[in-house]
C-alpha cells in the first residue's frame, strides 16, 4: 500500500493511492487523519493523482535519525575525506525537521558552501513507540519506507569535524514521493540520477547493518516515536549538485523522489 501526504483544494491530508482502476489513472483515497496515529479510516473523498500536490510524506514530530557508512563501497570512497574504517556498529547522527522538503521542492545550495552533494537513501518511517526493541521484533515498529536524499555540504562537514551543520541546512532532507508500507527490500535498487545520468546505483542487499539492526540500535539510544524517520545510508557515487540540476532518488518498489537545485 502506498500512502501519500498531499494538498488539494487548500487542505493538507493523508491518502492511499488507488492504482487499480484500469485506464482511469491513479486516484488518491483521502484518510481522516494521520495513519501513523489514527489508522486507515477514509473520508469518502477521492482525488485524481494529477490534481493534487504531493508533500513530504511525513514531518517527524521529534527527529530524523541517519546512519553513516552503511555501504562498503561508500565507506571506501570517503576514507580520505571523513576518515575511519568500517564501523563496528551503526554510526548515528541526526538531521533537524527543518531540513525536510517534499517531492518537487527545491534543494537550496547555501552561499557558504561550494560543495553540496547528493546521497540517495532508503528511509524508514516509524509507526509505533520503540525503546530498547530486540532486533527480531524491530521491523514491527516500522510503518513503511520512502526515498530520501541526505544532502550534504561536504566542505562544511569536513571543516567542522562533525556533521550537524553540513547535513542540517534547510532543504537538505527531501523525502517522498510516498510511503510504501510493504515493499520487498531484500534486493531493492537504490539509484540516484542527476539530470538523468546515473550517479549512484546500489541495492539494499549491500547494507552493512540490516534495517532491523538499525531500528534496534537506534532505539537503544532514543525513544523512537510514530513519524520519526531513519535514513539508512548511501551507496558509492556521491557527487556535486549545481544550481539548475535536477536530482532523482529512485527506490525500487517505492518510487522516484525528484528535486531541482537552486
First to last CA, the chain: 33
Stretch that binds Mg ion, among 11-19, 46-54, 213-221, 226-234 (CB under 5 A): 226-234
Q: How far is the CB of 235 from Mg ion (least distance, A)?
A: 10
Which one, 27 or 119, has the nearer CB to Mg ion?
Answer: 119
Answer whether 107's CB lies under 8 Å from 101's CB: yes
Q: Shortest approach of Mg ion to residue 164 CB, angstroms?
A: 13
Q: 46 has which bridge partners?
A: 29
> Which region among 112-120, 158-166, 221-229, 241-249 touches Mg ion (by CB under 5 A)?
112-120
In whole angstroms, the minimum distance from the beta carbon of 225 to Mg ion comes to 21
Comparison of 29 and 94: residue with beta carbon closer to Mg ion: 94
One residue of 117, 150, 180, 248 binding Mg ion per CB under 5 A:
150
- Distance of alpha carbon 165 from alpha carbon 151, whole angstroms: 11
Nearest by Cα to 234 from 105, 55, 99, 82: 82
Where does residue 204 fall: left (phi above 0), alpha (psi -120 to 50 degrees), or beta otherwise? alpha
How far is residue 112's CA from residue 8's CA, in Å, rounded to a whole number? 36
Min dist. Cβ of residue 247 to Mg ion (A): 14
Nearer to Mg ion, 171 or 234 (CB): 234
Q: Which stretch binds Mg ion (CB under 5 A): 15-23, 117-125, 177-185, 195-203?
A: 117-125
Q: Which is nearer to Mg ion, 52 or 56 (by Cβ)?
A: 56
Q: What 8-state DSSP symbol labels residue 109?
A: P
CA distances from 20 to 27, 50, 53, 161, 166 (A): 9, 16, 21, 50, 43
Q: Does 119 bind Mg ion (CB under 5 A)?
A: yes
Map residue 11 onto helix, strand or coil.
Answer: strand
Choose, by CB under 5 A, the member of 13, 171, 204, 234 that binds Mg ion. 234
Query: What residues pair up with 153 in beta bridges, in sequence order?
Result: 116
Range in contact with Mg ion (rule: CB under 5 A) among 17-25, 28-36, 92-100, 113-121: 113-121
* CB of 192 or CB of 234, closer to Mg ion: 234
| CB nearer to Mg ion: pick between 13 and 171 | 171
Size of the site for Mg ion (CB under 5 A): 3
Q: Is 117 in the site for Mg ion (CB under 5 A)?
A: no
Closest CA to 163 of 95, 111, 110: 95
Q: Select 16 or 66, whichever has its Cβ closest to Mg ion.
A: 66
DSSP β-ladder status, 142-149 and 152-153: unpaired
Positive or negative: CA dihedral 32, 148, 205, 224:
negative
Give residues in contact with Mg ion (CB under 5 A): 119, 150, 234
Amino acid at each position: 500500500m502506498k500512502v501519500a501526504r498531499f494538498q488539494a483544494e487548500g487542505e493538507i491530508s493523508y491518502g492511499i493511492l488507488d492504482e487499480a482502476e484500469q485506464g482511469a489513472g491513479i486516484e488518491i483515497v483521502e484518510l481522516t487523519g494521520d495513519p501513523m496515529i489514527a489508522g486507515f479510516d477514509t473520508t469518502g473523498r477521492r482525488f485524481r493523482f494529477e490534481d493534487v500536490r504531493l508533500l513530504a510524506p511525513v514531518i517527524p514530530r521529534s527527529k530524523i535519525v541517519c546512519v553513516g557508512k552503511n555501504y562498503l563501497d561508500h565507506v571506501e570512497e570517503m576514507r580520505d575525506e571523513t576518515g575511519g574504517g568500517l564501523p563496528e556498529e551503526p554510526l548515528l547522527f541526526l538531521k533537524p525537521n527543518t531540513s525536510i522538503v517534499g517531492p518537487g521542492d527545491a534543494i537550496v545550495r547555501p552561499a557558504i558552501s561550494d560543495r553540496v552533494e547528493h546521497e540517495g537513501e532508503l528511509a524508514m518511517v516509524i509507526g509505533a513507540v520503540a525503546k530498547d526493541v530486540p532486533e527480531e521484533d524491530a521491523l514491527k515498529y516500522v510503518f513503511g519506507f520512502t526515498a530520501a536524499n541526505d544532502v550534504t555540504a561536504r566542505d562544511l562537514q569536513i571543516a567542522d569535524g562533525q556533521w550537524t551543520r553540513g547535513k542540517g541546512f534547510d532543504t537538505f532532507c527531501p523525502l517522498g514521493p510516498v510511503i510504501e508500507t510493504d515493499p520487498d527490500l531484500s534486493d531493492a535498487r537504490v539509484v540516484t540520477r542527476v539530470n538523468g545520468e546515473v550517479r549512484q546505483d546500489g541495492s539494499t542487499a549491500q547494507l552493512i547493518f540490516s534495517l532491523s539492526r538499525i531500528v534496534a540500535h537506534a532505539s537503544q539510544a532514543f525513544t523512537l516515536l510514530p513519524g520519526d524517520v531513519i535514513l539508512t545510508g548511501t551507496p558509492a557515487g556521491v557527487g556535486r549538485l549545481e544550481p539548475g540540476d535536477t536530482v532523482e532518488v529512485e527506490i525500487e518498489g517505492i518510487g522516484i523522489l525528484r528535486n531541482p537545485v537552486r
